[in-house]
Structure 1
Amino acid sequence: MRKSIISCAALLLMAISGLLPARAQDIDWQRVDDTLGRKPAVAGDVHRYGFPRSDLAVTLDGVAIKPALALGGWIAFKPAHGGAMIMGDLVLLESEINPVMSKMIASGLEISAVHNHLLRANPMTFYMHVAGHGDPVRLATSIHDALAESKTPLTVAAPSSPPPAVDLDTGQLDQIIGVKGQANGGVYAFTVPRRDPISEGGMPLNPVGPLGVATGINFQPTGGGKAAITGDFVLTGEEVNAVIAALKSNGIEVTALHSHMLDEQPRLFFMHFWANDDAVKLARGLRAALDKTASTKS
């Protein structure tokens, strides 16, 4: 009986202090959808909203970058602390960084990183990682108002044609990478989780893919069995240089190395990469790099 009373008191204290996670069903997701002007992809209790820069015509080494390859901004909402926590990665032009940042800061959101992912892209794109917690509709309003300072499309246009087929041997790519990929807007995308649990601010980050803490690998066909590849490896410090060596020895360029978050456990680094070559050859190089990490393999 005494243990039960103590447990109830502890739960009450946690509820009062806002430490108990909110439940997804307690959030008015329709209002969040309406505020952001789009529907999310839902995985577990995470609602992820895409903000692709479909307005931009970006090329890199002669390759026209599809939004799904490297221009897919996003914001993910996870019920937490009596409301929601958000994490996101927004794609911006250089001239858009400070107006968007100022609006974010004024509304109480946090900026956790600003950096490049690619090299030699024209026009150059930058990536702003953001975080926050509180009332979900207020958070959505803050994101919408900040993005209005950029030319990020805030309305979703109906597709004018079906997405292009992925002209690659995706079955062989699946076998080499070790997980099942998914076609997305003419790009074949892999999400490879780590084996170790990841948390931010004491909150477990799960599912890892929608929250941006799984290794992402994207293949965009460029003809004749070739593909442009980019994405980011999620690494602990001791894995960084082993992965750099594995990528470079397989003809894959390392284009950025940095953090995305401020208070994650374990401490993580994100390594971005680029190549345009035979897709199967590149997949084997990526698998060699994944083998240097604590990543899952089916």
Structure 2
Amino acid sequence: MNKVRQSQVLALLLASLLGGVAVAQEQSEHTATLDNTARIEQLTGAKGKLDSAENVFKVTVPRGDLSVTVAGVKMTPAMGLTSWAAFTPAGDKTMVMGDMVLQEDQVNPVMSTALENGIEVTALHNHFLWDTPKVMFMHIGGSGDAESLATGIGKVFAKIKETSGGKAQKRTTFDAGKTSLDPKPIEAIIGASVEKTGEVYKVTLGRTTQMDGHEVGKTMGVNTWAVFAGSNDKAIVEGDFAMLESELQGVLKALRGAGIAITSIHNHMVGESPRIVFLHYWGAGTVSDLAKAIKAALDTQSENLKG
């Protein structure tokens, strides 16, 4: 065997050995991350199961406390009424993804707990039609230290248990059909003009994205809007935020920090670039406080909206 050929063979052997070491090291790191699954169970307060094929440890909390019917059919936890969180190694960090099963009045207390404990909220919507009582599903995610993530998920599960059975129910009741509020504070605080339609005042702020190579914007539905109704001291605001994916957590924290209830998080389109996420909300209070809450959320967005 000539020297050139020998060098090639040695190089291949060395590459193979180094590759094997790298794979073994990666597997060792992954195994080490998931070795202490008992600790994840302890911190989350939930029992879990390891899927060795995917290297994922998943904890589950069946909502056996709920009595839900869908189109007259009695539902069980195994029929989609189980909260869960799945942990897996992601490089030198741990990734968590999950789905929380919530009654309507639990959504915002549980969401605030997640946001305050390093857990991202990625979607909020229904999975059923004709469900009684109504059930919402809050999807969560995160990346970081396994113990911190498990601790955050544990607090989310604890808040679900704490608020079950209607304990979180809070409602403000009044007739918003007769509007007497002054729109000037809204315009001054948000910095955009309002339009009166019937008994409500509406602010609409547009942004743009691309679909099939064409720009779509405000009038095509790519917009943030807020409707105000009621009196100066007793008003409601409801509407929709249009956001880049990177803006979602900031908007959520700003709105929840001001006591605004989040009612859904989802997409309105498919195939757009950049991707736009939509967040629907509801709040009650004074006109000035509500306008300040919307403004605080707008200020977290990285792109100026167009009035």
Largest Rg, 1 or 2 = 2
Larger relative contact order (CA 8 Å, sep ≥ 6): 1
Q: Report the structure, 1 or 2, having the larger helix content.
A: 2
Q: Normalising by the residue count of structure 2, what TM-score does the alignment of the two structures yield? A: 0.43
Q: Normalising by the residue count of structure 1, what TM-score does the alignment of the two structures yield? A: 0.44
